[in-house]
Amino acid sequence: MRKAILLPVLLLALSLWSCNDRCTETRVTKQFTPVTISLMEIRKSVTTQAPRTLEHPGKIYVRGNYLFINEIKEGIHIVDNSNPSNPRFVAFVNIPGNGDMAVRGNNLYADSYTDLVTLDISDPVQPKEINRVNEVFKTGQFDGGWWNYNESIGAINGQDVTYVTQEIETNCEENPVVPGFWWWGGGFFRTMDVAFSAQSMAAPGGGGGDGQGGSMARFALYDQYLYTVGQNDLHLFDISTPTKPADFATINLGWGIETIFPYKDKLFIGSTTGMHIYDNANPAKPEKLSVFQHMMACDPVVVHDDVAYVTLRSGTNCRAAQNQLDLVDISDLTRPRLIKSYPMQNPHGLGIDFPTLYLCEGAFGMKVFDVQDRFAVDKNLISHFKDMDAYDVIPLGKNLMLVGKDGLYQFDASNPRQIRQLSKIPVGSLSI
């Protein structure tokens, strides 16, 4: 009987235990702080400095034995890559508001907020500013933070981006992805994505010693022109005298332009709403042929022969909830047709060295596909590199260059079935 008393006591103890579900959501959000920077200050800050470590690697660009890595919004790292197994930082060029670059011969073209800066890199250790086209770009964004040119005071109104971690008590259910209305207030344009343009496997015509960009570049060289895409227009710079680029023409493209991809004599322009195809037979005056519309999404594009490879992804700045790779038949450029969609995890940049397609899956690493059978791409996954962050990739034939949030990787890809890592420059370190 003594034990029978035990029961109610234990029951009481049990009922007094906390029976509350505890669910905590950890949410990392970008926070934007307004800043104003004067053009005068920006223009005197282009300087060459001692090599620095990668902090927020952006786009990459390759020219000969040199590798250019954008430090988002801050400048360009110059890396001597004559030995891909042992790349060496040689200099850092401080360029405020830099996000893109292109190289022809010994001239490096870089954006610096509103301006297009030309640097002489005949001595890569000591690049020098030789030309500047003033106030050609009016607006842009870095890492989701927008800037625009305030003409009346000659300054940039920008936003600094910081990451804020929040802990929220939730009801242990699937809470809404994002209550859209909270964000439509002042952030409409924020929903458009960083520019993703594509690299061209076909050597761009007419360029003596052009370099090669990744699928994130917004700059492209073709014939005697430098094409740059802004949010809603295409800028043409005449670089017939490479040391003196001249503002040549502006073509309005509509809304949410992200990417430009010259392939043969066509321009493939990616936007948040679709892929525009332009005829570039006359490089001075591209003409619109067609638009391939899709869901609102971020979409880098690469092209090989009659097939365009387009990826859509969800996530920061992209409004799509789907992640996929679309193969588009472009044999008739005026009537692009979908071949097949393949679901992916979180596709970012991509590169093609036919029949091998390299696809960056963000935090999910890099996937290598054989795309010869266009209806069975998903069944021809050659390999999947998981332990890396993959943002953009440049296939250079024998070698493969890949950049992610955690650093820059180089691979020996002479045999796509046996890709071998040559080196990694991790973020925050000067050596491999």
Give the phi and the psi of residue 326 in degrees, each rounded to 5. Answer: -105, 135
Binding test (CB under 8 A) with other proteins, winner from 44, 50, 174, 252: 174
Binding test (CB under 8 A) with other proteins, winner from 44, 177, 203, 387: 177
Q: Which residue has the tokens 């990616």?
A: 270
Peptide bond just before 242 cis, omega within 30 deg? no
When the beta carbons of 177 and 203 are compared against other proteins, the nearer one is 177
Q: Does 33 bind other proteins (CB under 8 A)?
A: no
- At 4, the amino acid letter reads A
Binding test (CB under 8 A) with other proteins, winner from 42, 69, 303, 318: 318
Distance between CA atoms of 202 and 101, rounded to whole angstroms? 19
When the beta carbons of 50 and 167 are compared against other proteins, the nearer one is 167
Binding test (CB under 8 A) with other proteins, winner from 43, 244, 319, 384: 319
Please say whether the beta carbons of 85 and 76 come within 8 A.
no
Q: Does 188 bind other proteins (CB under 8 A)?
A: no
Q: Does 43 bind other proteins (CB under 8 A)?
A: no
Strands 350-353 and 337-343: unpaired
When the beta carbons of 11 and 35 are compared against other proteins, the nearer one is 11
When the beta carbons of 113 and 364 are compared against other proteins, the nearer one is 364
Q: Which stretch binds other proteins (CB under 8 A): 30-38, 116-124, 200-208, 245-253?
A: 30-38
Q: Does 27 bind other proteins (CB under 8 A)?
A: yes
When the beta carbons of 157 and 346 are compared against other proteins, the nearer one is 346
One DSSP character per residue, 150-179 reads ETTTTEEEEEEEEEEEEEEE--SS---S--
Distance between CA atoms of 155 and 330, rounded to whole angstroms? 43
Q: Does 6 bind other proteins (CB under 8 A)?
A: yes
Q: Which stretch binds other proteins (CB under 8 A): 25-33, 54-62, 126-134, 347-355?
A: 25-33
Q: Which residue has the tokens 């802004």?
A: 230
Q: How far is the CB of 241 from other proteins (least distance, A)?
A: 43
Maximum pairwise Cα distance, the chain:
103
The answer to whether the Cα torsion of 179, 180, 181, 183 is positive or negative is positive
Q: Does 170 bind other proteins (CB under 8 A)?
A: yes
Q: How far is the CB of 43 from other proteins (least distance, A)?
A: 31
**Beta bridge mates, 219:** 228
Distance between CA atoms of 348 and 216, rounded to whole angstroms? 9
Distance between CA atoms of 62 and 214, rounded to whole angstroms? 9
User: CA angle, corner 60, sides to 54 and 65, nearest 5?
Assistant: 95
When the beta carbons of 251 and 363 are compared against other proteins, the nearer one is 363
Positions that interact with other proteins (CB under 8 A): 3-4, 6-7, 10-11, 14-15, 17-32, 144, 163, 166, 168-179, 182-183, 187, 190-191, 314-319, 321
